[in-house]
Every structure is written in C-alpha cells, then in structure tokens.
Amino acid sequence: MLHLDTGNTGFMILCTSLVMLMTPGLAFFYGGLVGRKNVLAIMIQSFVSMGWTTVIWYAYGYSLCFSGDWHGVVGNLHNSFLRGIGLNTPSPNDTIPALVFIAYQMMFAIITPALISGAFTNRVTFKAYMLFLTGWLTFVYFPFVHMVWGGGFLQQWGVKDFAGGIVVHNIAGMAALASVLYVGKRRVLDRGPHSIPLVALGTGLLWFGWYGFNAGSEMRVDSVTAVAFLNTDVAASFAAIAWLMVSWLNEKKPKFLGLLTGAVAGLATVTPAAGYLSPTTAVIIGIVSGVVCYYAVEIKNKLHWDDALDVWGVHGVGGFLGIVMLGIFANKQFNPEGANGLLYGDPTFLLKQVTAVVFSSVWAFVFTYAMLRIIDGFTPVKVTELTEEVGLDESQLGEHAYEQVPE
C-alpha cells in the first residue's frame, strides 16, 4: 500500500537527477584522461550506457533485481517491461512510488558498467563493448543488486552496503582488472591526459552527483540522510588531501590530477558506509582510502597492468576497503537500522562483510573474463594495431573531438 509522502518523493526525484548527472560527469572525467585521438570513443561508452542500459532495465533488469527470488541469487521476470507497476505501486519504502524507485535504481545500473570502460580505453571495439555491456549487466550487476538490496541471500545474511561498495564499485573494479588482463596492453603509446580541466569538470559533476548516490540511498529524508550527506563530503575531501600529500612526497610536486583522483577514491570508499557511521569515522575512511588507493595504483604500475584510468585501484580497491572498514566501524548510534562493527562489539559483522566482498570480487572477475572470451568468439574484442595508431575516434566512429592537428 502506497502512503505517499511528497517530501520524500520530491527528494528522491532530485537524487535520481543527481545520479543521472554522474554518468556525463564520468564521461568528462575519462575523456580528459585520454589522448586527443580517443576522446569520443571513451565518452560514448558512458553515454551509450544511458540509452542501452535503460532499454535493458525496462525490459528485464528491474525485474531481475527486485521481483521475486531465485535461490537468493537473482529475481524473476514477473515485472519485466514494468508489468504490474502502476501509480499506486509502493517501493520498498512505502512513502515513495515504485516508479521513482525504478528510475533511481536505473541510474545506478547506468553508471556501474560505464565505470569499467576506463580500464580498457583505446583497445576495445564498439560492437564488443555493446555485447559486454549487455552480458555484464545481466550476469554480474543484476544478481548482485538482488543479492545485496533485493532480498537475496547476502541481504538476508546481514551484509550491509549502503549505496554500492559491493554492488557498484567493487564489482566494477574487479571487472576492470579482468578486462585489462584479458585484453592486454595498448600497443600504441597514448598521449593522455590531453585535458586536465576536463577531468576537473568531470570530478566536480561526479562529486555533486554523489550526494544523490549516497544520501538518496536512505530512500527518505531523515537524520541518517544528513549523516550520509556529510560523510560523503568529508571522506572525499580528506581523501583528496591525503592523495595530494602522498603524491607530493613521492613525486616532489603537488599534482592537480592526484587531488582529483583522490577525491573520487574517497567517494568510492565511503559509498558502502556513508549511512552507517559517524563523520569522524568518515575522516578515517577518507585518509585511509587516499593513501591505500594511491599505493594500489603504484602496485598496478609496477606489475605493468595497463588499467589505463586506474579503475581497479580507485573503484575495485576503494569498494573493497569501504566494505571492510564498514565491518570495523559501523555504529548503530548513527543508524539504528544498521549494524555494530568490530569496534562496537560485533566481530561476526566484519566476517560477513569480508566474506561478501571476497565473494563479489571473485564472481565479478571470473564472469567478466569468461564473458570477454565468449564475446571474442563472435566478434573481435581488441582493435587492431592500425586502429590504435589512427585513434578510435576516427576508426570506430568516424568523428573527431577536435580539429585535426599533428600531435
């Protein structure tokens, strides 16, 4: 039964709009990080998700996430094509209509696979990316939404993930790592980042949209919404400064790109914990994520993984770290419906969090690697060396971001 609350509903429509803005923000963030010949090819991978993921979400995605239950792993097709959803259908929070909840969750589905695209930039054909987008949503994203948020076995077991540490960042980051290892290195040196101002614009849009991502995940307006909002900003800010300081020490100069990347690492890491702990703990999460994610990127460089835009180091490691730190620092004083972590007397909660995020990491990695291998059987995943040389904007799209001048 729907008990409409216009304040909650209005707030959730605003949050949905904010999360929608994150995908263009991601496109600008990634677009600035690559060379001039590949700007449109990376940006279209974010923007096309806004279109194609919506089609899939309407057809069967929402239903697989939130309708019914198959062995605790995935839903059923009862609500495919939004069948049975009307004006008075309630969402899990019965003060907002299901129609708003469907739109809000759809924005999460749009940005999650787009995050992965930064890992294999300049290397993957557009046709293969479209098949990947479809398969990854169906076999990785939708099951984890159901398992963690849709009544599946992880939710029933007591695993907490406020806004997507497992569901968004960890599985996207691990999928990125699998993609990098499958596709291999770029054969042509990329001259990016071609526009750090574009990266800054993208970071600003992501940061702004993240308030809808985290605060909106409370699904209503109350004090937990406020703490999630504040924790989001605190963690991002402390992580940005921590990354800046560590990179300044190591590279002898303060790097603007480091500040921007650190902010995104902090945002990704606080996401699962934002509504379950104190602002003081968000400070700790911010500092730890800025330092740990910086060194994760350094390890990646030493191992020569060509994760072009550090998706694994920022989102994979950040999401993992956030879920584990939630297991340590969760505090029911800041969310009575949450949990108490290790420091507040419940070591079993930490065990559940660690088990869940190890499980999600393995699932996302294995399924992604297998999917790319299967797609390769139908159409080449990796572009040719000549295509890389020319640039994907010209060879794949026949368009250019800028007037052509010799590099």
For 177-198, write each residue's pLDDT tens digit: 999 999 988 888 887 799 999 9
**pLDDT > 70: what percent of the chain?**
99
Tokens 């835009």 sit on residue: 309
Q: What is the pLDDT of residues 200-214, one digit of tens each?
A: 999 999 999 999 999
Q: What is the mean pLDDT of residues 279-299?
A: 95
Residue 339 has pLDDT above 80, yes or no: yes
Q: Which of 379, 373, 316, 351 is nearest to 175 (CA)?
A: 316
Which pLDDT value is given to residue 295? Answer: 95
User: Is 0.85 surpassed by the pTM of this model?
Assistant: yes
pLDDT range class, residue 403, cuts 50, 70, 90: confident
pLDDT range class, residue 18, cuts 50, 70, 90: very high
Residue 406 has pLDDT above 60, yes or no: no
Domains and CATH numbers, the chain: 6-397 (1.10.3430.10)
Average pLDDT score, the chain: 94
Q: Where are the beta strands (DSSP E) in 9-102?
A: none
Give the contacts of 148 (CB within 8 A, at least 6 positions apart): 154, 155, 159, 161, 166, 167, 356
How many Cβ atoms from other residues are within 10 Å of residue 396's Cβ? 20
Which pLDDT value is given to residue 407? Answer: 52
Residue 359 has pLDDT above 60, yes or no: yes
Which pLDDT value is given to residue 189? Answer: 80
Q: What is the mean pLDDT of residues 340-345?
A: 93
Which pLDDT value is given to residue 281? Answer: 96
- What CA–CA distance (Å, rounded) separates 288 from 235? 10
Which pLDDT value is given to residue 225? Answer: 97
Q: Which of 83, 405, 15, 68 is nearest to 220 (CA)?
A: 15
Give the contacts of 337 (CB within 8 A, at least 6 positions apart): 224
Q: What is the pLDDT of residues 60-95, one digit of tens each?
A: 999 999 999 999 999 999 999 999 999 999 999 999
Which pLDDT value is given to residue 361? Answer: 96
Q: What is the mean pLDDT of residues 44-59?
A: 96
Q: Which of 9, 26, 54, 14 is nearest to 212 (CA)?
A: 14
pLDDT range class, residue 52, cuts 50, 70, 90: very high
Tokens 């923000």 sit on residue: 25
- The shares of helix, strand and coil residues in the chain, as percent rounded to the nearest 5, are 70, 0, 30
Name the more confident of 148 and 398: 148
Tokens 């991002």 sit on residue: 236
Question: Is the N-terminal amide bond of 193 cis, ω within 30° of 0?
Answer: yes
Q: Do the beta carbons of residue 196 and residue 318 sit within 8 Å?
A: no
Collapsing DSSP to helix, strand or coil, 122 comes out as coil
Q: What is the pLDDT of residues 114-140, one digit of tens each?
A: 999 988 888 999 999 999 999 999 999
- What CA–CA distance (Å, rounded) separates 271 from 293? 15
Which pLDDT value is given to residue 277? Answer: 95
Residue 400 has pLDDT above 80, yes or no: yes
Which pLDDT value is given to residue 322? Answer: 96
